[in-house]
Structure 1
């Protein structure tokens, strides 16, 4: 497997605690970078991080505590678990905490939240529509030239079939794919956990090895011509360390008309 030097938020920390507290800062940094580069052709609205009210810090400790505790408030009254949609929407009826999703059928129609079969998911916050099925099967290279075994072949096939009534599917940018990451999930504690809302995105790959959890994006790595950014849904890490010749999973996306 080809790798490149560590960059950006790819190796934040091996400690789940430190990674959790840095999640919001990393996400904000990615947002600013993407906006400056003009690589996010969607609504511009952002999902929250998924950090819960039990994942705040107190001064002098790396142990997560209740965000309502005096110790947490003394450290900082604006910690991730104290603000945002994560706090405002605890019911989770349309997505865990502040995430807000809608199930979409093969014909493009919205389905009730209790539906047991669906092909796509619409993010009601970002306006992006996601392919659910491709995340379950196979791995692909990321050259974009329709060679055998490449993600571009899958993109062409899905568009020809008109998945969920649409033919403008593509690989997501790094920022778009990271918007699905739920940093409140303690994925490090179990091989069965993934940093995504599994109730809406079942079958997301997870496993003991790093590469078994990685999904490609369309975002190039500026100083690594043969590389592209990817997202690991086991850890939530975003990295530009891999060559396009490596084979990873894909989850296709399109910009939906209205929310």
Structure 2
């Protein structure tokens, strides 16, 4: 009987017209930080080395419906309007060692744009089923309008650079890892 050789070719998923996302570039993690195919609480992106909190539907601080005014730990120090609402979420994630990590934070605007792009692939999108089609806060302020901060709308991908009034309660996706700039 002849031996059969099987070659596995990764299927590439397109996040946009210029960048490719491969299934080999991410791994889902349990709340304890172990790789899992079920009950994922985080998604690790190997291209950026960032780990993203996956929203839950469980009335916890990680619930998809929890909203926060802008400001708190990590927020840009621009302007005089800031709140500390998201501190409870960051502190809880770090105290609970969510997915095995204690360095959770709110993402920069560039990281949030990367997350939107990542979650557009059909293979990754199911992990973000609890992400609302609404703007999400970043830690990035907008210097020209100090009472506003930068957001990304997860319904259409639009990055708002000034119309996120800091007093408006919006959802937050946590991230951990070294701060990233947008890839050039």
Q: Distance in 1 between matches of 2:119 and 2:52?
A: 21
Q: Counterparts of 1:204 and 1:119 in 2: how far apart (Å)?
A: 13
1:110 aligned onto 2:35 = yes
Q: Report whether the alignment pairs 1:85 with 2:20.
A: yes
Listed as ranges, the gaps of 5+ residues in structure 1 are: 1-47, 52-79, 95-99, 186-193, 207-212
Matches of 1:235 and 1:121, distance apart in 2: 21
Structure 1 stretches of 4+ with a deviation exceeding 6 A read none
- Structure 1 counterpart of 2:138: 217
CA distance in 2, matches of 1:239, 1:147: 19
Aligned length: 151
CA RMSD in angstroms, aligned pairs only: 2.9
For 2:91 and 2:31, the matched residues in 1 are separated by: 17
User: Which segments of 5 or more consecutive residues in structure 2 lack a partner in the other structure?
Assistant: 1-12, 56-61, 74-81, 179-184
Q: How does 1:220-239 map to 2 (within 5 A)?
A: 220-239=141-160
- Tell me the alpha carbon deviations over residues 176-202 of structure 1, each in whole angstroms, 9 at most, x when there is no partner: 0110223996xxxxxxxx999422222
SS of the residue 1:200 aligns to:
helix
Matched, 1:170 2:102: no
Greater fraction of residues in strand = 2
In 2, are the aligned partners of 1:229 and 1:239 still within 8 Å (CA)?
A: yes
Matched, 1:153 2:74: no
Identify the residue that residue 250 of structure 1 maps to in structure 2. 172
What TM-score results when the alignment is normalised by the length of structure 2?
Answer: 0.71
